[in-house]
């Protein structure tokens, strides 16, 4: 679906001017009041003026661009506020949403799939870990629908057998960011740290277990 409001300078202006026209004509038809229309109209005019100044070669400079950016932030914030009100207005019709440039209402929620890929782990000797998906090793983003990863660890002597499943390890941490730390108890210097993980989605469903990562501890 399209980003609403648009992020681009000119698309945002076109979107705002259309919403401004419709809301100014009949604010109550969209669940708004006249004050909402007045505020949006003022912000739209201000942004239009500052955008023109910032994109005209003779007047484009750091000050005019910064002024445009500030106006853009204010306009975007107001649009998002009004869109939330409009979207929650029960009498709003699909035709009105389309006229405003809003995405169609999702009446059938898209099911969240169970994670199908494995996370990959990179470990530092101090227990700092980085996690990424096996299909996108150069991208920090989690797979679609994935909320985070449940991480398991084992600490033992170098001669100990590494874990082959989460049952052979202990829960370590829930990772929702690309970089996190594995808890390491005092006195673990020189021991081995083994770590594995599984993605989980919004419903708590788990994906396949990662390959075991390991490092000698130097905490």
Give residue 139's pLDDT band: very low, low, confident or very high (50, 70, 90). confident
Q: Which domain holds residue 184?
A: 119-216
Domain final residue, candidates 70, 100, 130: 100
Together in a domain, 18 and 95: yes
In a domain, 111, yes or no: no
Does residue 109 surpass a pLDDT of 70? Answer: no
What tokens appear for 132 in the block? 């990424």
In a domain, 108, yes or no: no
Give residue 1's pLDDT band: very low, low, confident or very high (50, 70, 90). low
Give ∠ CA 23-27-32 in degrees, rounded to 5.
Answer: 110
Together in a domain, 90 and 124: no
Q: What is the pLDDT of residues 52-107, one digit of tens each?
A: 999 999 999 999 999 999 999 999 999 999 999 999 999 999 999 999 999 887 66
Q: How many residues does the chain have?
A: 219
In a domain, 132, yes or no: yes
Together in a domain, 80 and 165: no
Together in a domain, 123 and 212: yes
Together in a domain, 124 and 95: no
pLDDT for residue 124? 96
Looking at residue 138, which CATH number applies to its domain? 2.60.40.10
Together in a domain, 94 and 151: no
Q: What is the pLDDT of residues 7-66, one digit of tens each?
A: 999 999 999 999 999 999 999 999 999 999 999 999 999 999 999 999 999 999 999 999
What tokens appear for 149 in the block? 């990863």
Helix and strand tally (H, E) in the chain?
Answer: 4, 7
In a domain, 171, yes or no: yes
| Of residues 19 and 141, more confidently modeled | 19
Domain final residue, candidates 71, 100, 129: 100
Residue 50 belongs to what H/E stretch?
Answer: helix 34-55
**pTM over 0.75, yes/no:** no
Read off the pLDDT of each residue in 175-198 and give the average, rounded to a whole number: 94
In a domain, 55, yes or no: yes
Domain final residue, candidates 72, 100, 128: 100
């Amino acid at each position: 679906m399209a980003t609403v409001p648009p992020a681009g300078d000119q698309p945002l202006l076109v979107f705002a001017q259309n919403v401004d026209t419709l809301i100014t004509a009949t604010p109550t038809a969209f669940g708004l009041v006249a004050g909402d229309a007045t505020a949006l109209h003022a912000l739209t005019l201000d942004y239009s003026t500052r955008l023109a100044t910032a994109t005209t070669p003779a007047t484009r400079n750091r000050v005019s661009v910064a002024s445009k950016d500030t106006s853009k932030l204010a306009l975007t914030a107001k649009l998002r506020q009004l869109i939330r009100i409009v979207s929650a207005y029960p009498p709003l019709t699909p035709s009105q949403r389309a006229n405003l440039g809003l995405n169609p209402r999702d009446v059938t929620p898209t099911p969240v799939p169970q994670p199908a890929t494995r996370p990959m782990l990179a470990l530092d000797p101090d227990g700092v870990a980085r996690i990424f998906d096996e299909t996108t090793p150069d991208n920090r983003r989690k797979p679609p629908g994935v909320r985070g990863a449940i991480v398991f660890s084992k600490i033992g002597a170098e001669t100990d057998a590494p874990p082959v499943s989460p049952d052979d390890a202990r829960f370590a941490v829930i990772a929702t960011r690309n970089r996190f730390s594995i808890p390491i108890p005092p006195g673990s210097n020189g021991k081995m740290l083994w770590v594995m993980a599984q993605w989980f989605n919004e419903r708590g469903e788990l994906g396949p277990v990662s390959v075991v990562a390991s490092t000698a501890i130097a905490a």
